[in-house]
A and B are shown apart, each in its own frame.
Chain A
Amino acid sequence: MCGNMFRAVFRLSASGARSLTRSRPCYSAPLASRCYSHGKVETDEEFDSRWVTYFSKPDLDAWELRKGMNTLIGYDLVPEPKILDSALRACRRLNDLASAIRILEAVKDKAGPHKDIYPYLIQELKPTLTELGISTPEELGIDKL
């Protein structure tokens, strides 16, 4: 693989002038990005919309939610707020509050040492969280031991 897994956020991608400003901690690696292949590289937007569509399926079942989330967490990136919004709404459709809280825990853990990502995600998701009534792990106190 041409680059290493931990791409700096400030790299300019091959696909064009998309600048990631410092204030937006958007860490994501394009899928299947290999410098030596002539195949099409999926852009970040395509990746995001693919996942938003996945979780937006109206009759998504519990297995598909779990599969999607576990797969997403397996990637070397923290999902965009819009993907998480879609996933949380899927939890609502499935009447699964516990999974919604678990998803928030998982993305916080996914951010690792980058402590500024999770507050940004919560800030972006706040309207959805209040609308659906999902408490953050911090509000419930389960982020502590």
Chain B
Amino acid sequence: IKEDAPVLQPKLHRGVAKVEDYALPAYFDRRDSPLPDVSYVQNLSAEQKSLKEKEKGSWVALSNEEKIALYRISFKQSFAEMNQGSGEWKSVVGGIFFFIGFTGLVVLWQRKYVYGPVPHTFEEEYKEKELQRMLDMRMGPVQGFSAHWDYENKQWKK
């Protein structure tokens, strides 16, 4: 930009609207984005501040505990922690079985108390007559029903 060119000055809106938390860069632990926008710990204690100063020097001088402390300032969970599974699936499968079982009880109750009697066509005597009728009219004579009936000996084919 040339120095004498007219430059639009942005109108600063400080004091007009509050910047909401969710609009600011957030911290997150993600496998596919290892370095989040912000450190996990934003407000450092005095001890952490002095550790940060020490970090500017040689890292060989840092003890393992100090290195871990520095890591924990910047990050919430290590990769091992963020990737760990949980036992939640057991609860889910257990819940599934429980509710299937409960549904079974509901169905049994319904069958007893809600549904009326089955039609008369289910009675034993009716069924016998129905079967005889089917054989008489030769239903499925080739490969189906009547094909399995031995008309000579009046029994089912073996």
Give A residues with C-beta under 8 Å from B: 65-66, 69-70, 73-74, 92, 95-99, 101-103, 105-106, 108-109, 132-135, 137, 139-145
Q: Quick one: which of A97, A103, A135, A142 contacts B34, CB cutoff 8 A?
A: A103
Nearest A residue (CB) for B65: A140
The CB with the most chain B CB atoms within 10 A, among A65, A101, A145, is that of A101
CA distance A109 to B83 in the complex (A): 9
Give B residues with C-beta under 8 Å from A: 31-37, 55-56, 58-62, 64, 67-68, 70-71, 73-75, 78-81, 83-84
The CB with the most chain A CB atoms within 10 A, among B33, B81, B83, is that of B33
Cβ-defined contact, B56 with A139, below 8 A? no
**Given known A-B contacts A73-B32, A145-B80, A133 and B60 have beta carbons under 8 A apart:** yes
Cβ-defined contact, A142 with B32, below 8 A? no
The CB with the most chain B CB atoms within 10 A, among A74, A96, A98, is that of A98
21 of the cross-chain contacts (CB-CB < 8 Å) are A70-B34, A95-B55, A97-B59, A97-B62, A98-B70, A98-B71, A98-B74, A98-B75, A102-B34, A106-B34, A109-B79, A133-B59, A134-B59, A137-B79, A139-B64, A140-B64, A140-B67, A140-B71, A141-B68, A142-B80, A144-B80
Residues of A within 8 A of B33 (CB): 70, 73-74
CA distance A24 to B110 in the complex (A): 68
The CB with the most chain A CB atoms within 10 A, among B37, B61, B71, is that of B71
Residues of A within 8 A of B31 (CB): 106, 109
Residues of B within 8 A of A132 (CB): 59
Residues of B within 8 A of A143 (CB): 78-80
Residues of B within 8 A of A96 (CB): 55, 74
Residues of A within 8 A of B35 (CB): 65-66, 69-70, 99, 102-103
A76 to chain B, nearest CB (A): 11
CA distance A140 to B81 in the complex (A): 14
Nearest A residue (CB) for B66: A97
Cβ-defined contact, B78 with A135, below 8 A? no
Cβ-defined contact, B68 with A140, below 8 A? yes
CA distance A73 to B68 in the complex (A): 23
Cβ-defined contact, B64 with A69, below 8 A? no
